[in-house]
């Protein structure tokens, strides 16, 4: 069920360094696992006997549980090491913690940490595959992959020429960064939308210009782009990274996707959100649960993506 066009890297640390062919191969692999996630095919014991360590030093529900479900579907066992229960809370370095976990004989490490580049640092010091489940403000590659998969499904397998708006706390968002790399690699144009305090101007030049790559632009007016984009990805306001600074008091009025704004979307324009949702702030409940929403499909696709990543990196024939 897996291909080998991306697994030679040995880790999954980012989407920046993946080509469009490698991204598509990963999504194709995930599609092959989707019937298992949906319950129409039995689990496959591709990783039977393997032990995977979830080293989650930041809070998580969806990502951690999704990796655990994916591992179980593949026959692997999972060990969770969470925040204050790990030795990093006693002052041990991230590398020392990961090196000790690897020395216990685990077959792979899934890591979420507050340090940008933390996953890559671990990968330099251990001999087992490392999967980045979100590192600081750097990237969240499996979230970017599941978002890509969801949009490719919706648009019949092609994104070239499409316009995707990513709305909200761009400055703090590793999800936005991963999506910038993956969506533009597939030919989609991305417009980053939010107040100037949350959408730094330098984001417009993060992705290099290329002949087959989509362009990146910035807008500080959601209403101005609402009727011209093909998809909307709303982001969570990450209050914990701002201490309240930089978030306008009128954020909901200017950038929240309420029922009125959703009613102005063209038919077939999907709404995505990586979760958790601040309901009533980024999204009205009626929109989050309404006909435009692909949020639960994102969650389902997330398990399939993580199955593909785990199988590709850890299976003996991966």
Phi, psi of 64 (to 5 degrees): -65, -45
User: Is there a contact between 217 and 249 (Cβ–Cβ < 8 Å)?
Assistant: no
Choose among 8, 19, 6, 10: nearest CA to 122. 10
73 is known as an active-site residue: no
Please tell me which residue in 9, 62, 137, 254 is annotated as part of the active site.
62
CB atoms closer than 10 angstroms to residue 286:
12
Asked if 257 and 284 touch (Cβ cutoff 8 Å), the reply is yes
- Measured in whole angstroms, how far is the alpha carbon of residue 246 from the centre of its chain? 24
Catalytic site includes residue 63? yes
- Of 2, 11, 24, 63, which is the active-site residue? 63
Bridge partners of residue 231, in order along the sequence: 164
Question: Would residue 62 show up in a list of annotated catalytic residues for this protein?
Answer: yes
Please measure the distance between the N-terminal and C-terminal CA atoms of the chain and give it in whole angstroms.
9
Catalytic hit among 24, 73, 112, 292 = 112
CB 56 within 8 A of CB 112: yes
Non-local CB neighbours of 251 within 8 Å, separated by 6+ positions? 195, 237, 281
Catalytic residue among 11, 24, 64, 140: 140
**140 is annotated as an active-site residue:** yes
List Cβ neighbours of 267 (8 Å cut-off, separation of 6 or more). none
Assess contact for 232 and 203: CB atoms under 8 A. Answer: no
Cβ density class 193-202: b for 16+ within 10 Å, e for less: bbbeebbeee
Long-range contact list for 200-206, CB < 8 A, 24+ apart? 200/170, 200/171, 203/170, 203/176, 206/177, 206/180
CA–CA dist 225, 246 (Å, integer): 22
List residues with catalytic annotation.
Answer: 62-63, 90, 112, 140
């Amino acid at each position: 069920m897996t291909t080998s066009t991306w697994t030679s890297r040995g880790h999954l640390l980012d989407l920046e360094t993946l080509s469009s062919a490698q991204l598509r191969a990963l999504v194709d692999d995930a599609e092959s696992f989707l019937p298992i996630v949906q319950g129409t095919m039995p689990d496959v014991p591709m990783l039977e006997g393997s032990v995977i360590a979830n080293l989650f030093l930041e809070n998580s529900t969806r990502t951690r549980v999704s990796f655990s479900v994916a591992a179980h579907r593949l026959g692997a066992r999972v060990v969770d090491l969470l925040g204050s229960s790990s030795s990093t809370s006693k002052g041990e370095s991230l590398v020392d913690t990961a090196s000790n976990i690897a020395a216990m004989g685990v077959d792979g490490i899934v890591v979420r940490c507050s340090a940008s580049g933390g996953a890559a640092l671990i990968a330099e010091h251990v001999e087992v595959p490392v999967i980045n489940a979100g590192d600081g403000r750097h990237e969240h590659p499996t979230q970017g992959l599941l978002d890509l998969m969801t949009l490719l499904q919706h648009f019949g397998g092609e994104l070239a020429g499409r316009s995707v708006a990513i709305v909200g706390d761009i400055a703090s968002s590793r999800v936005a960064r991963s999506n910038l790399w993956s969506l533009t690699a597939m030919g989609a144009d991305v417009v980053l939308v939010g107040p100037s305090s949350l959408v730094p101007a330098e984001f417009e030049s993060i992705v290099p210009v290329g002949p087959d790559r989509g362009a990146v632009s910035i807008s500080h007016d959601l209403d101005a782009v609402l009727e011209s984009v093909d998809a909307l990805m709303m982001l969570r306001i990450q209050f914990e990274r701002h201490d309240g600074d930089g978030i306008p008091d009128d954020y909901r009025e200017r950038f929240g996707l309420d029922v009125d704004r959703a009613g102005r979307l063209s038919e077939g324009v999907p709404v995505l959100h990586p979760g958790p949702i601040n309901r009533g702030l980024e999204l009205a409940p009626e929109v989050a649960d309404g006909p435009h929403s692909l949020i639960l499909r994102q969650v389902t696709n997330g398990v399939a993506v993580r199955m593909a990543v785990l199988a590709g990196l850890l299976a003996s024939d991966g």
